[in-house]
Structure 1
Amino acid sequence: MAANRRRPVVLAAAVATAVTLGATALAATAASAAEVPLKGYELTWGIKQSYRTYVTGMAGGSFTPEGGATQAKDNGAFTFGNGTGTYDSEAHTVALGFDGSLKIASKPHGFELTLSDVKFDSKAARITADVTKPDATQQDVPLAEVTVTRDMRDMATKLTKEAADVFGSSSYTGAAGDPLTVVEKKTESPSPSTSTSTTPSGTPSTSTSPTASQAPSTAPSTSPSQSTSENPSPTEAPTKGDITDGTLGWGVKQSFRTYVVTGVAKGKITVSGGAAQAAGNGIFTFVDGTGTYDTDADTLNASFKGSVNFKGHEDGGTYGLDLTLSDLKAEIDGGSGTLTADVNSLGEKSDDVTLAELKPKSADLTAENDVITLDDVTTTLTAAGAEAFGGFYQTGAELDPVDLSVALSDDAELPGPDPSSPTGTTGGTGTTGGTGTTGGAGTTGSTTGGVTGGLAATGSDVPVGALGAAAAVTVAAGAGVVFAVRRRRATDSAQA
């Protein structure tokens, strides 16, 4: 959901912290109660996973954090430290600025920029930064809108038009960014003048700044006697129950879609049963999610309606490639999960095939406005999936990421379609409940050659000799992914 439609009901943590200070401290700060100084905060944000992969992969570039900024291992998210600012105890909002800078550069693709003076404003619900390029510096550029939450952890972000200009891709406008976390950095040693027994939360610190990790389960209160009220927050959902609705966005693999529609397969992609496909041969959205969830146990089991069919290599009305995926199911258990589907290949059906392993960015399942959202879930092919596709997918191959949103109540509003995302987001431009087709016979061929050629150009290491005379091969250009499909006629085998 857009951040500007969900202004924060946030940060009651400050109230809980103020209560623990005691009446003396409250009296001392009464004159400036509206603004409480903050220090020692950290901001962690990865911009967008696919952008990091592009910079260090295709662009042959690098990220260089400086001035106290750091990057997590394996090309992970960035952390900016020493955050200082203020907490507005009346509006329950924070404004923080952070130390550190991040240089992003690629000589092969000819770009260089530096992000610095990163700021987070929960009232404006956005992240800003100064952006320095070789010719100029722009100050306080809004990079993302933020869906602010009470504990300020794993907050959803949406990239702005300005961010699209900064990072060089117009498709980033409105695309989902990486989750944002803003927390107070814990100190290991308590203040020597403070007794640890006087703090209900068990925190020995005497800091007057609100601590996000101390956020109570209650809404903000202006009275210390009401701060422990058991009334639930409007954003809180039951910890477990039934899923009332949901969508799953998945593109299978972008290069395979391209191959089927505009490559040598000269085929088409058809969605049905409520599924939709985003414009421009984009990702698929499967709908009407049902199942169960448990946010305490961090588990989720969801099934989705809709199917997608890939057809290609037509010869006299017979297709060498005819693959249908339906009844998709996602199971999440902490930091891992699986994606299953019914698979029908040339009339041979296998139910509940575990196609891929899922790895969410976080092991914690959290609900916001009665919706659990998982974006850019890493998806890798399983051995069972490789077998289901004829043994020519390599186990462990990376597929398109999965975007998943499920509603936990009848009144919950799922995120809307976002077909502009380069990696795909939940939703699409197809008509829900209808049938749509992308491509068709007569599309232009690709530059990778015919059915049995082009492997060298794609960089695939699949052994061509293993295919044999009885099989035709469709190649997902540039992906190293091969589908084995049987020919139905001897003449087809002779032509392969």
Structure 2
Amino acid sequence: MAAISRSRRPLALAAAVAVALGAGALAVTSASAAEAPLKDYELTWGIKQSYRSYVTGMAAGSFTPAGGATQAADNGAFTFAGGTGTYDSDTHAVRLGFAGSLKIASKLHGFDLTLSDVRFDSGAAEITADVTSGGTTQDDVPLADVTVTRTMTGMETRLTKEAATVLGSASYEGAAGDPLTVVQKTPPTQSPSPTGSPSSTSPSPTASTSPKPTGSASSTASPSASQTTSPSASASETGAATQGDIADGTLGWGVKQSFRTYVVDGPAKGRITASGGATQASGNGDFTFTEATGTYDTDADTLKAAFKGAVNFKGHEANGSYGLDLTFSGLTVELDGATGELTADVESLGRTSDDVVLAHLTADSSDLKAEDDVISLDDVTAELTKAGAQAFGGFYTEGTVLDPVDLSVALSDDAQLPDGDGDGNGGSGNGSGTGGSGDSGTTSGTTGGGGTTGSTTGGVTGALASTGSDVPTGALGAAAAVTVAAGAGVVIAVRRRRQA
């Protein structure tokens, strides 16, 4: 792993807090009388969902938490417990250090690193950790910048340049990380002051003050965490929520009909495989991606929804290698009024780039309306971006109109999605596919091809293109090795996949 440049050093935690004997009084030994000791905090952060999927999927690696750190089920987020530190009532800064470590390793891709001494500093608005790799430890490496909120729950994070080096991909620099939550494990029995300033009746700072890390506010405006995170918090007088979390949803998209035809019935003589929650309609039809998560705001007409599932296009096989091996996964739709973006993680010939903006979206209406707790948008126009054109290796040019996008998201657990039962099993794709005489393994919707598809993970099949700490990388278009000549004639430049 390359040496990590420490462009900034986080603020250290304040001096130690000693617990005095007797009636549980706390003796603060910090240099500033404004600093109050904090304890029993937990930090939950998943780093980045697509990175976790890469480690346990393509890299065939693992996460091993230890020393008080844990990981949620189904390759979920990580929690570091035992948080202690200080709260500065003058600057309203919360500085906490947490117990536990996280080992991230892949023998296949040749990386083995450990994160420890994880720290959160609301004043510096960052997460740091000590990073150990190859027997060398770098202290206080800034991993993410944080958009700090009063409740310290669901805070937005953005990965740093140093994090990109640690995670092995330059494409991670500036990318959105998983949301961060910092909470006290044992809630205080007394409602805290939202200003963060010591109460005149309680001048002695204690760990139970549960401070809010932002500036001053009215003493009567003491929002609880549930007021900012619960979808019902913004419910109208009629009881219909106008903003909150998406409970479920489906995305219908065919990528581009001519591309599907080219792969299955055209010169590529290949196959299409949907997996991981995605299905393909019969007759080489459209794809359906499922189990949406995200947020919505019908007052602001904004929506962001991420969907499970992957689709792989494979063709131009020669001696066991493929000139075309392209996978889209982690599809996300973000709308603001009538316009938005469709992003995805893109893998081409074993090389991966996360959060690629594939298409600009344009809906017929800028007004997001919910009917029976479901927001549905049909025939949303999708135009290929420059990055999307590179993802196709120049097969299509920027501005090309792709297949339209159909979107349905449920705003409550009991909402009924179109053509579904409201529990994530809806969608128009039936996954039956055509062709594909072999065993489909763990995938669904395999179209075309005459051989065995075998077991796949996340729509990725076959040998990996390369190994080492530089995987995943940001390379896209050059690896696709597919170009289109002018007019109706199609010329395919098939390039052998690099050997591992």
Q: With the length of structure 2 as denominator, give the TM-score of the two structures.
A: 0.49
Structure number having the greater helix percentage: 1
TM-score by length of 1: 0.50
